[in-house]
Structure 1
């Protein structure tokens, strides 16, 4: 079955979007306020080192991109048109996660939390669940691999039949996108992060699968999306070109955050950070 077999647009979700906008708007404001508060504490606590304004700006850009995708005037388009959905997928699942991850929120927390709480955070970062999730293969499957299940099975139509399904997709795109960006190019400490060549290979796998999914979608092969064929083709183009740009930015971030000759494990890096908090 292809997109051509579905003449009807996405189910109307606009009626349920309005009341649901308050929660994401409040959440974005709280995240911005918390980050700015912690950044101010980091600067006051250690004037010599302070906290990078570039990281603060990056985190702010990530929140702004989320606001653009999740709030009016774009929110209605994202929830009622497949082209809008794909634009939202790029903003929420690729561009915003990269900007948020480059803001190094975990490092900021480790610098400002009391030592006792900092050690607890380090323990979580090095627990078995975190080690499993930060494997490149797992992050790739959750972020890019999940698109195959979403667009080539009835899952997408089932989820978008209700407004809550749209928000569930947003949450998945955001968390999976942040995870993949963190594994590939995140400045925050990570347990057993692989070397740059391995991360480049997995980034290449993401680029390849994105290209395959978008090409199949453009051609209408095996796609299970209840939207007009022309709408699906345009969405495929958005995915193809917008995804390429996002992945190029991720590759640039990997190169920018790479420090040759300073290969320390995530555990060592985190422990040093906690020791600095003590001082």
Structure 2
């Protein structure tokens, strides 16, 4: 995808994408934080293994995939174009608000921390989870509004132009996108303990109600009569970014809907098995034919 689009933008080169790593102090600090986070997660998995407790390899892969996605978005050569090529900036935005948070919440990092930590650390983690700050931002309506207000405010106000001209604010937007995306996707896909829980039907409604907003934003940018920032981006660049935002934003939404259906099905299976145990506590469950 990126390589194909690079052919459409002469300013984008494959060599820069592969070798243009970000070496400024904040980027190096972010890279170090990603490495440290990966090490902590692996140590947690190993601690569980020593206790003869199995941790899903898929969760570990999902967590590492999330960290790699964050690095690719802000620390690799890809990030060298985020302030000059709008469609690259849009892809970066989608990676930070959708791809990375989805994999992060599916890796259940809080659950791992609770299971692998000692009692005092577990108590501290639970206090953070149940704090008023986390409770507020993880409330479904707040998480939904935070996600969509962030997107509209960033792309339809001068905030985009401000971010590409002021590096510190640009770094802040990266962190904001990631946090807003994490709270948004935690509501519908999260496996960790949460104060606010939605039914599976409510989770589907949570996502479906956002589809018109995502479509309108992408189409509005795609059909704009002027560049999103005439000093930095061409009109064609702007239209391409709007198309990517619309199409891939919907792809992430429908992929998440598919995950919800899988989780729903597994929850129903667990409920059925639990009911069997309650009905037949001292005997095998009744025979069920294959056909």
Structure 1 residues 197-216: aligned runs within 5 Å? 197-216=201-220
1:41 alignment partner, one of 37, 41, 47: 47
Larger radius of gyration: 2
Structure 1 gap ranges (5+)? 1-8, 10-16, 264-279
For 1:81 and 1:224, locate their aligned partners in 2 and report how far apart those are by CA, in whole Å. Answer: 11
2:101 — aligned with what?
97
1:235 — aligned with what?
241
2:111 — aligned with what?
107
1:271 — aligned with what?
none
Which one is further off, 159-168 or 27-36? 159-168
CA-to-partner distance for each residue in 1:140-176, whole Å, 9 max, x for gaps? 1112221111111112212221122221111111111
1:260 — aligned with what?
268
Secondary structure in 2 matching 1:189: coil
CA-to-partner distance for each residue in 1:229-278, whole Å, 9 max, x for gaps? 11110001111111112112222222233323879xxxxxxxxxxxxxxx
Are the counterparts in 1 of residues 106 and 191 from structure 2 also a CA contact under 8 Å? yes
For 1:65 and 1:40, locate their aligned partners in 2 and report how far apart those are by CA, in whole Å. Answer: 23
2:132 — aligned with what?
128
2:23 — aligned with what?
18
For 1:43 and 1:221, locate their aligned partners in 2 and report how far apart those are by CA, in whole Å. Answer: 58
1:251 alignment partner, one of 257, 275, 284: 257
Please, what TM-score do these two structures have when normalized by structure 2?
A: 0.79
2:78 alignment partner, one of 53, 74, 80: 74
1:220 — aligned with what?
224
1:28 alignment partner, one of 14, 23, 34: 34
Are the counterparts in 1 of residues 227 and 234 from structure 2 also a CA contact under 8 Å? no
Structure 2 gap ranges (5+)? 1-10, 12-21, 272-291
2:87 alignment partner, one of 83, 87, 91: 83
Q: What RMSD in Å do the two structures reach over aligned CA positions?
A: 2.3
Q: Which has the higher contact order (CA 8 A, sep 6+)?
A: 1
2:189 — aligned with what?
185
For 1:179 and 1:225, locate their aligned partners in 2 and report how far apart those are by CA, in whole Å. Answer: 29
